[in-house]
Structure 1
């Protein structure tokens, strides 16, 4: 059987990613021999003889393509090469880091399932209800932000749990909570919001009339709900992979994500190759496992036809909530823009909030409010540009769903942090690299939404009438299809704006985005970690702003979501916009 366009695209994209990882020593634009020499001995002069010796030692004289072939051949034999910095075999380091990360992800998944179960149980008991705004808010909080708050409260203020290291089970608690709470909020919201519509279907009424127990009905309803949602569950697991990089960094956990980040910063490219390849394989395996479980749950009868859920009810929010959040953000940002974010005054370093410095000062005596306001301008502005590019790409790719589906699968398997590490290894850390990393993987949800709308509009009866009266394809495209698709996808893109801003902040937090002294939100959080115990307000200020932004996204989505006219588009929109 010949592979379809989606399969071909998937293979091409996967080969491209593997080639990019294999050619990192050459794509970085730096002389690999010079990088190795600096890593081995920073004092040694980079003479021609010394560089030639390094090239001979590593086999770099053959050039990029033979080096890529050697790397791929080593992969097939289970050999990831040796570290440029330590000279040790990479495979044991990657395996050790992977074991730690898998243990952390397992505990995080347990936390997520417990939280999701607590959100779903009331709906199963009452047969109605919703996960509500609380679950949506939890799902919108980024892992690195929750990790910082958990470190501050549970580790520093209360002293209940260790704040770093990996010595015993107690070291897992705070990182697992930081990873598991957002994932559990999202899983619980997806299932709990879909259950009321399923419990209102005709078969449930018939089963109750026949005397079937409530437990059997609940189990059957869950089995009915899970298959359409499993692709989203797979994306949640991939999110755990990406979020683990930031959480491992916050708590100094020696996992595979922290290993990859450290290799990128030290330019140990072979170790970076092995770590990124492992993370990519973990994401692809997770997605494939979710697809396999979905097929088993559907069974042979529905496997090819698929199964869709009745539309879920959106999260409700009072109109005053987004207005209040937007006003608070606007006042804080506007007030900060009126102040100087770069002036250093060491005499007032780590000063508490006062009238002169309403949010205190940082470790260099710079005004936190000023840096918060100016950082918002750059972060949100960059996010808006990414949003616009993703929207334009989605409107084009939405007409080519069979071709772009494979590329979307690969993009969905790559969290922003992993792409950010790769881009930083090639172009160096910076705002442009972080924006490129987020843009490369932000288009699939919008493209899937556009494709669903294009399919529905093309199948509508009024377009059949237009063709019957002789309307040209260009007329139909510009006067009917595009206007019907552009408005809802544009609203979807606007709802994704805060999420893109949070992704940029996470890259800045990891040192992959904006660099000091830029006043970027993620960078502010990273800089404040060193003195979080002495000056918690410096860390809490950007954390609260990010939480307000997430709350604005959730409450704004509840008020601006509009229902498409037909059931098929409504279900498609709920599937791609509801998360």
Structure 2
């Protein structure tokens, strides 16, 4: 691992420099004249004459060119100067610090809610050994923050009137935003711990402790200490994810945080303020990652710090095929039925109608059929998410063979939530489906690349690959017949599990107006359009929310079922000159051990047989016959 420190550090510096350069050149990356942007920001009615534009360029120093302005901006950063707002004409730094202070308070409260919820989800696993908490946690993690914020605002703020619904003036104003932001994060953390605990409790040391009469509380505490160190980096990524969710939550509750400030700066094209907000969010993400690394080292201690401690493979949940088939049938039926209807027909007389025979899911504020918009929105949401997921899978499989570069680039990508990257892309290229897909694709590959890199290293260290090299196997044969199949299958299942998260990220960008634009029937945009009348017509918001939940359940159950279907393969030994080695298929959970599988009764090469039996003594005696 020490040999990877150099490439990882170099890749980290290169990626950080690329991000800083992109942020510094944001006024020119937008494709619009920066002087005209400033003129429109200051006065929308003033005509953009050549004299006015020249005066603005001279005032802001834009006539020196992009490289000179970039150098001046970087030198200002070194002095702690973030520039001057194009809209208000004030310094950017005080606005960034004020928004960051508010967001830190909100994210701290949300993280406390997430930890409490995760403890509640993990408690049944520790006390009674139940594994159903993982399904509940997955359902909570699939809830969009913006939808949860809207429901919390409607129920607690409007119907009950117990809590304030906008602003930031005291502790009472923190409750609803922290709840909306912390519940999905708590579901994610609870799912990570709940899925890892059963395998840890089945380890040998836990059985010995229980047999020796150690109390259940001490065993549970030791199991938690065993589980937490490998999961702490995931906790850091969850903290960074709170930053992206805070943008939508701050928008719903009108909280003056750094996320809402960045979104407002992108909308008004106040690029210096947007640059300062993005830098603050990037620093916050890097600090969260560094803090997670420090906590992990402290939990491991000096003895296990460099031992590469990992968790055992979780017990594969036996999901009945009826579950994914039922979810797929329901979702496909709704989408297919909606595709047969017109999503753009406006009927002013049919506004906000409840579900009936003519409109099975009701109508929206313009009288359009909700079922039709839900069906046609699947192409914009699920189709785009599938394309982004496939692209991330390909990138991960390539970078899996370059672990140093992948690790360095992943540190920077993990520090930027999709919403922040979406704000940058929208500021440069304008809002749209393509920009939203690009933003999500830029930062969705690191978890898959880390998984692929770990599997590649494990496969390359396997003893049976050494035996194959010894008997004359070519590099291309080993790569295509053993390494890639061993890595691609589990990483593909991992990518399938991440499909709902990618769809939620695209929906979040659509909800914030950074993705698909009206009248496109995109699921996030449907939620945003129905937010104004959710009290009168909740079915318009429930339809895309339930569709996203069904998509999450389908991905989780299908991945669990496919993992349970994975069975050990066979060894085939032949004497052909074109096939001078044993063909192995990796066991689904142990790469370094070959399962005791039946061997086909065919003529085989004596050298290949001896190498295989020597490396894998558990092969049945039928190999010798």
**TM-score bin (small chain):** over 0.9
1:4 match: secondary structure: helix
**What does residue 335 of structure 1 align with?**
337
The 1:144/1:248 distance shift into structure 2, 3 A limit, reads: same
**Offset at 1:377?**
1.9
Cα 1:493–1:217 shift into 2, 3 Å: closer
- Specify the alignment match of 1:200 in structure 2: 202
Equivalent position of 1:527 in the other structure: 529
* 1:190 CA displacement: 1.8
CA distance in structure 2 between the partners assigned to 1:358 and 1:162 by the alignment: 35
Q: Is 1:446 aligned to 2:468, yes or no? A: no
1:499-518 aligned at under 5 Å gives the runs 499-518=501-520
State the match for 1:576 in structure 2: none
Native 8 Å contact 1:156 1:533 kept in 2? no
The structural deviation recorded for 1:398 is 1.1
Identify which range, 169-178 or 486-495, moves more after superposition.
486-495
Which one is further off, 177-186 or 136-145? 136-145
- TM-score, normalised by the number of residues in structure 1: 0.94
Distance change (3 Å), C-alpha of 1:491 and 1:370: same
How has the CA–CA distance of structure 1 residues 492 and 221 changed in structure 2, closer, same or farther, with 3 Å as cutoff? closer
Whose relative contact order is higher, 1 or 2, with alpha carbons under 8 Å and at least 6 apart? 1
Match of 1:260 among 254, 259, 262: 262
2:377 aligned partner: 375
2:587 to 557, 560, 565: 565
Could you report, residue by residue, the CA deviation over 1:490-529 in whole angstroms, capped at 9, with x for unpaired residues?
2322332222222111111111110111110101111111
What is the CA–CA distance in structure 2 between the aligned matches of 1:132 and 1:511, rounded to whole Å? 33
1:554 aligns with one of 556, 574, 579: 556
Larger radius of gyration: 2
Residue in 2 aligned with 1:573?
Answer: none
Shift, 1:418, TM fit: 0.9
Unpaired stretches in structure 1, ≥5 consecutive residues: 571-579
> RMSD of aligned C-alpha atoms?
2.2
Q: In terms of mean alpha carbon deviation, does 209-218 or 379-388 score higher?
A: 209-218
| TM-fit CA distance, 1:339 | 0.9
Deviation at 1:130, TM superposition (A): 5.5
1:498 to 497, 500, 503: 500
Alignment of 1:367-446 (within 5 A): 367-446=369-448
Supply the distance in 2 between the matched residues of 1:163 and 1:515 (Cα, whole angstroms): 27
Pick closer, same or farther for the CA change 1:86–1:183 going to 2, 3 Å. Answer: same
| Cα contact 2:26–2:271 (8 A) shared by 1 | yes
64-73 or 193-202, which deviates more: 193-202
| Match of residue 346 from structure 1 | 348
Q: 1:567: Cα distance to partner?
A: 5.6
Pairing 1:114–2:136 present: no
Q: CA deviation at 1:45?
A: 0.8
Give 2:48's aligned residue. Answer: 46
Structure 1 partner of 2:57: 55
5+ long unaligned stretches in structure 2 = 567-585, 593-625
1:64 paired residue among 66, 70, 85: 66
1:257-336 equivalences in 2 (<5 Å): 257-315=259-317, 317-336=319-338
Corresponding residue to 1:233 among 212, 232, 235:
235
Aligned with 2:359: secondary structure?
A: coil
Q: Does 1:478 align with 2:480?
A: yes
Cα distance in 1 between the residues matched to 2:123 and 2:408? 36
With normalisation by structure 2, the TM-score equals 0.87
Q: How many residues align?
A: 571
Q: Distance in 2 between matches of 1:459 and 1:232?
A: 26
CA drift of 1:221 comes to 2.5
**Stretch deviating more after TM superposition (445-454 or 36-45):** 445-454
Shift of 1:371: 0.9
